[in-house]
Amino acid sequence: MILLRALACQMPALLLTVGLAYWLPIFHHPIVFLFSQSGLAVGGSLLLRQPTWWIPIHLLFLPSVFVFFTLALPAWWYLFIVVTLTLIFWGTIRGDVPLFLSSSEVAQAVITLLQQEHALTFADLGAGVGSVAIPVAKNLPETQVEAWERAPFPWLISAWRGRGLLNYTASRRNFFAADFAKYDVIFAFLSPLAMPDVSEKIKRKMRSGTLFISSSFPAPDWQPESILRMNDRRKTVLYCYRID
Ligand SMILES: C[S@@+](CC[C@H](N)C(=O)[O-])C[C@H]1O[C@@H](n2cnc3c(N)ncnc32)[C@H](O)[C@@H]1O
């Protein structure tokens, strides 16, 4: 379905640009052709209300295909690139959140919150390469840290970075399989698309009095107990929710 929507942006944009090139010679210029197609594909993506991370994908898709063909790389390069991107972005094509990394300011704010909460158990749902989970495990040796990540490459990096940390576990699994009732604090940096399902499970399964921290995306229909604004490059906002 997600792939079909992406095609529904790319294909009409391509046909329209081919049509324009038929009537208007300016579109014979590769740059004009490629960027008109990309621009139209982005327009389609906005119309279909795809998540914002599709914008760079649509913008770069046809220009990248063009560049790779002009470079005439050996065939195994294509396989290598596809396999590497698949291992990094694993479920993105099915609608999972792609890999974005939290800043060190976010990691420090989470550490401070865990200290205030006297948390002994912590989970990062979709831990990526461990940008938050690793500093937490290093700074709070009393806290058991579980980093859930199902994309193979990020998981491998997180597991490698956590080797030797006795309070750190990197699980290469869907975080919906986690027992949310185990944790004193859960952190997630996901997407608006993921928030309804995640916050519904958090509300149902986390123990009363525990804390859920959502980076960047608020949980729908839930009043945060506090909101923390980071001074990092992305001006990240942390939404903190107390479980009733
Ligand atoms: C935006 S990144 C955040 C990475 C890390 N938490 C951080 O703050 O730097 C989201 C990560 O969640 C992972 N992810 C998305 N859905 C998942 C799921 N259902 N189970 C496990 N990991 C998931 C993605 O593979 C991606 O690496």
Tell the burial category of 164 from Cβ atoms under 10 Å away from its Cβ (0-12, 13-18, 19+): exposed
Q: What is the pTM of this model?
A: 0.76
Q: What is the pLDDT of residue 147?
A: 98
Confidence at residue 72, expressed as pLDDT on a 0 to 100 scale = 74
Q: How far is the CA of 18 from the centre of ligand 1 (A)?
A: 38
The pair of structure tokens assigned to 237 is 């906002």
Per-residue CA distances from 118 to 32, 140, 143, 144, 211 (Å): 58, 10, 9, 12, 11
> With 0-12 CB in 10 A as exposed, 13-18 as middle and 19+ as buried, what is 147?
buried
Average pLDDT of 235-243?
97
Distance CA 182, CA 4 (A): 38
With a 6 Å cutoff on the Cβ, whether 162 touches ligand 1 is no
148 within 8 A of 125, measured Cβ to Cβ: yes
Looking at ligand 1, which residue's alpha carbon is closest to its atom 12?
A: 126
Residue 241 CB–ligand 1 contact under 6 Å: no
User: Do the Cβ atoms of 114 and 140 come closer than 8 Å?
Assistant: yes
**Ligand 1 centroid, distance to 125 Cα (angstroms):** 6
Output the residue whose Cα is nearest ligand 1's atom 6: 127
What pLDDT, on the 0 to 100 scale, is given for residue 181? 97
Report how far residue 142's alpha carbon sits from residue 149's, in angstroms, rounded to the nearest whole number.
22
Q: Which of 34-43, 77-86, 145-154, 209-218 has the lowest mean pLDDT?
A: 77-86
pLDDT at position 82, please?
Answer: 74
Ligand 1: does its nearest atom lie under 6 Å from the Cβ of 35? no
Distance CA 144, CA 161 (A): 16
Q: Does ligand 1 lie within 6 Å of residue 127's CB atom?
A: yes
- Say if ligand 1 is within 6 A of residue 149 CB: yes
Minimum CA distance residue for ligand 1 atom 1: 100
* Cross-strand partners of 213: 187, 240
Distance 200 CA to ligand 1 centre (A): 18
Is pLDDT of 131 > 90? yes
**How many angstroms is it from 140 CA to the middle of ligand 1?**
22
150 lines ligand 1 (CB under 6 A): yes
90 confidence band (pLDDT: 50, 70, 90) = low
